[in-house]
Amino acid sequence: MEETIQTKKTVFSAIQPSGKMTLGNYLGAVKNWALLQDEYECIYSIADLHAVTIDIEPAVLRGNTLEMAAQLLAFGIDPERSTLFVQSQVPAHAELTWILNCHTYLGEAKRMTQFKDKSKRHPENVNVGLFDYPILQAADILLYQAHFVPVGKDQKQHLELSRDLALRFNNKYSPTFVVPEVLTPKAGGKVMSLSEPAAKMSKSDPNENAYILLLDEPAAVMRKFKRAVTDSGSSITAAPDKPGVTNLLTIYSAISGKTVAAAEKEFAGLQGYGEFKAAVADAVIEFLRPRQLEYKKLMNDKAYLTEILSRGREKAAYAARKTLSKVYRKMGFLQ
């Protein structure tokens, strides 16, 4: 009896090499990436082409790219189950971007809210690359015939553009691209600032006590949690009027694997917030410890790290070239 081969659907996601990741980056995205590896064919990219829409020193970009690769591997991305590669090492990303540029209406590109936001934040460097960022992002996704893209709220508009471009090209030239869909994260969620629980945790915050870096030393993690903003009263419960405590419970829940309700019960007998904050810090420190050791090991073996990225590049380039060849043939480019 002939066996039916079950083909996994493809997930694509990318992250910019912006140096050290925060706990928010891990719990909001990378933790979910790791969980997807058994169920899907996962393709993960270090988006260094996206990173140069702002000024960045060449040596910093190179260093950040290797650091990001090591962090992703240390925190759960398995090169045997996923394809991990550096975006600029696969030229098809830039090539397909030009094709998609020629199928994107100016009005569509002007509507992208991230361009407006970033232009306001960096008025000294409003470049065409920043404007074209969503089209490169669409090329990233469509090259790999991705069925699903795990994205946050701030990227949903860009995924909609990817869908529109895929449909437009398919209707004009015959089916070519898979039309990608949003994949709702199985884990994670939004982690808020430790100093301002109404804002998302971000390492661009001028207050370094607002965020936990995945590579922070234990003493720094403990100090930051001890200084975390809590709320009036002393009850350790998640509630809309207790954003500080809710944020700490959310972090503890995500790190420990317990529900928020179970965490509330665990801390119910504590008097005041000091002991609670120290307990959350301890849980985070113990979670980070083995992963930080793995990160250091990887950074001390650049040859191995480069080999993993090289293998990823070969796999990604093969898949990307298949898609791009199909696009070029359908458009009439001489093969």
| Catalytic annotation, residues | 118, 200, 203
Per the CB < 8 A criterion, the answer to whether 90 and 313 are in contact is: yes
**Residue partners of 1: CB distance under 8 A and separation at least 6:** none
Instruction: Find the DSSP H helices in the chain.
Output: 23-25, 31-36, 48-51, 58-74, 92-101, 106-110, 113-121, 128-143, 156-173, 218-226, 243-256, 260-266, 274-299, 302-331
Phi, psi of 226 (to 5 degrees): -65, -30
Per the CB < 8 A criterion, the answer to whether 218 and 285 are in contact is: yes
Neighbours of 76 (CB within 10 A): 17
- β-strand pairing of 82-86 with 148-149: unpaired
Per the CB < 8 A criterion, the answer to whether 316 and 85 are in contact is: yes
Token pair in block for residue 160 = 């909609």
Give Rg (Cα) of the chain: 22
Per the CB < 8 A criterion, the answer to whether 202 and 212 are in contact is: no
Hey, CA dihedral for 20, 37, 191, 45, is it positive or negative?
positive
DSSP 117-138: HHHHH-GGG--HHHHHHHHHHH
Angle between helices 302-331 and 274-299 (to 10 degrees): 80
